[in-house]
Amino acid sequence: MFPFICTWKDGRCAQVDDVLPDGHKVKKGDEVYYLAYAMGRMPYIWGEDAEEFQPERWLKDGVFQPQSSFQFISFHAGPRICLGKEFAYRQMKILSIVLLRYFRFKLSNNAQDAAYRVTITLHMKGGLHVCATPRTT
């Protein structure tokens, strides 16, 4: 199978007739996709509060708890999982640490609804305007 990649969906095209692990048959040329965007919002996977922004669901006693890569599918899973996953995590952590060490952030408009503009990558609809105040201590 060879991949089709996009940030919110990913999939494979069968090069030969095949049988998936759940017994589902695919014919040569069939395409099979999963939608990372939808999987990240499914109560079946994340519980009834799946739609709520709850970063603490990733924490236990304040310590980050990685989820199965088959559950949090953004970096793919299995033998062809993203080779840059740990690198990407480290970059995000370093940037967050540097920004939060030197600035306090507050939404410019507390009433603003943080919504997506759905494109091939997810953008903030109208941007997310924040005030950054330098930390003095």
Chain positions 56 to 75 lying near ligand HEM, rule: CB under 6 A, are 74-75
Q: Which stretch binds ligand HEM (CB under 6 A): 2-10, 59-67, 93-101, 111-119?
A: 2-10
Task: Measure the CA–CA gap between 54 and 95, rounded to whole angstroms.
Answer: 21
**Amino acid identity, residue 134?**
P
Q: Does 87 bind ligand HEM (CB under 6 A)?
A: yes
Measure the CA–CA gap between 12 and 2, rounded to whole angstroms: 5
User: Can you tell me whether residue 12 is helix, strand or coil?
Assistant: strand
Give the shortest CB-136-to-ligand HEM separation in angstroms: 33
Using CB under 6 A as the binding rule, whether residue 34 contacts ligand HEM is answered as no
- Gap between the Cα atoms of 50 and 32, Å rounded: 24
Residues at the interface with ligand HEM (CB under 6 A): 3, 5, 10, 74-76, 80, 82-84, 87-88
